[in-house]
Amino acid sequence: MNIRAVRKRFSFYVGLSGFVLFLGTFLPGSANSKDLQYSALPQIGVSRSPEISIDSTTGSASMEITVLIYNVAGLPWPISKGKSSRDTDADGKRIPIDSKRSTALKKIGDTLGELRSEGMEPDIILLQEAFISDSAEIPKRGGYPNWVTGPGRKDVGPKHSDRASEEFIADRKFSKGEKSGKGQSSGLLLASNFPIVELFNHPFKQWECGGFDCLANKGLLVAELEIPGLPDHLMVATTHFNSRGASGVTGERALAAHNLQVDDANEFLLNLGKDDMPFIWGGDLNMRHADDRLEYFVARSGDKLNEVSSFCVDPENDCEVRTRWDTDTPWYESQDLQGWLPGSRVTIKPFQVETVFDEPEDGIMPSDHNGLLVHYRLTWPIPDK
């Protein structure tokens, strides 16, 4: 056998063993495939009651809350090995993340706990890639009295909708993880200083995904929160859409999956029947530097899309930016976005945005994403006596 054939066969076996090892961390029954367990609803703990301000000239009341979105890279080994942040060091090299994800997740929780001791913790945290069991340490160590997770690995929905083409369904491949079932949960987690009244979990259609993303039961987590003093409940949602290169499939197929999930999420939210309530959304939308994904997302959102970075980058909107934006299109440079919709009575406006968990410790980042923290002001009319 010549050297070229030996190398070819060696590469095949290395690739095959890597794929088997990858599947082994995500297939049902593996040690890493247990869903996080949270308390039954309603969860009624209150660790902070927002201060209410009265404006006698406008006849309105208002309060301020903070919402953090953060992809914490709570991935099982070996998927987590060798990942790096997009942040770079003084030499322009990407800063590695802590390969011991269990330790890193606990540190994230401890940091939130330290912020709480100073009265500076986010009121609501929306996490993505909270897969492994130590992800539950984040709300616990952070002191959050209430927390829930998104769709679990067994909470599967229908196989596909009429939106998916016959070609897209027929082209599913086992070698890309598209026929192996859901070995992991959605990886979504929401924690709150305020009571969680109800949870609306929605898994995306089983086959409306592309590549290795299909191994996780991606979907939508929507929670209804009761904030002391707010006349209406607040709806909060988080999601994690299909990736591009990391999915292991062509850009065309990954785009089709992403578009299907955008439509699925929009349809679910429109049919939820909570339009009167104020709404905040955020998550890892996987649209960084992706014109086709951004254009589709904006087109499907219509005139109801209020995205924080595009709002706050405009000086006329009186929103303080405490982050290193070196571009006038920050939404194009990030996977992690937040937005809002007003309710029939309560309006919402972001007035400050900042990046957190964005500094290395001993040359190591806590995750391959930074956290995005948004300060919102909720306003409503004072009823006539």
pLDDT tens by residue, 193-228? 999 999 999 999 999 999 999 999 999 999 999 999
Please state the pTM of the whole predicted model: 0.91
Residue 26 domain-assigned (yes or no): no
Which distant-in-sequence residues (6+ apart) come within 8 Å of 345 by Cβ?
A: 231, 232, 276, 380, 381
Tokens representing 181 are 């079932």
Q: What is the pLDDT of residues 35-47, one digit of tens each?
A: 999 999 999 999 9
212 Cα distance to chain centroid: 18
Amino acid 353: pLDDT? 98
In the predicted structure, residue 13 carries a pLDDT above the cut 50: no
How many Cα neighbours within 13 Å face the side chain of 350?
33
CATH number assigned to the domain comprising residue 52? 3.60.10.10
- Going by the DSSP 8-state scheme, the letter that residue 175 receives in this structure is G
Band (pLDDT 50/70/90 cuts) for residue 23 is low
| Stretch 58-85: mean pLDDT | 91
Q: Can you tell me whether residue 236 is helix, strand or coil? A: strand
In the predicted structure, residue 21 carries a pLDDT above the cut 70: no
Tokens representing 108 are 């994230």
Beta bridge partners of 239: 220, 283
Residue 363 domain-assigned (yes or no): yes
Find the helix packing angle between 291-301 and 251-270, rounded to 10°: 20
Residue 236 domain-assigned (yes or no): yes
Band (pLDDT 50/70/90 cuts) for residue 296 is very high
CA distance 111 to 332: 28
Band (pLDDT 50/70/90 cuts) for residue 11 is very low
Tokens representing 294 are 């951004």
Give the number of other CB atoms < 10 A from CB of residue 337: 22
Give the number of other CB atoms < 10 A from CB of residue 117: 9
Residue 19 domain-assigned (yes or no): no
Tally of domains in the chain: 1
Amino acid 86: pLDDT? 85
Which distant-in-sequence residues (6+ apart) come within 8 Å of 39 by Cβ?
A: 146
DSSP-derived pairing of the beta strands 234-240 and 279-284: parallel
Q: What is the pLDDT of residues 219-244, one digit of tens each?
A: 999 999 999 999 999 999 999 999 99
Choose the weakest-confidence range: 9-13, 81-85, 273-277, 370-374: 9-13
Residue with token string 């029947």: 273
From residue 53, give the alpha-carbon distance in Å to each of 60, 225, 355: 8, 20, 27
Residue 306 domain-assigned (yes or no): yes
In the predicted structure, residue 80 carries a pLDDT above the cut 90: no
Band (pLDDT 50/70/90 cuts) for residue 79 is confident
Share of the chain above pLDDT 70, in %: 91
How many Cα neighbours within 13 Å face the side chain of 68?
27
Total residues belonging to the chain: 385
Band (pLDDT 50/70/90 cuts) for residue 28 is low
Residue 238 domain-assigned (yes or no): yes
In the predicted structure, residue 14 carries a pLDDT above the cut 60: no
In the predicted structure, residue 113 carries a pLDDT above the cut 60: yes
Domain that holds residue 198: 33-381
- Going by the DSSP 8-state scheme, the letter that residue 364 receives in this structure is B
Band (pLDDT 50/70/90 cuts) for residue 32 is low
Residue 55 domain-assigned (yes or no): yes
Share of the chain above pLDDT 90, in %: 82
Residue 213 φ then ψ, to 5°: -60, -25
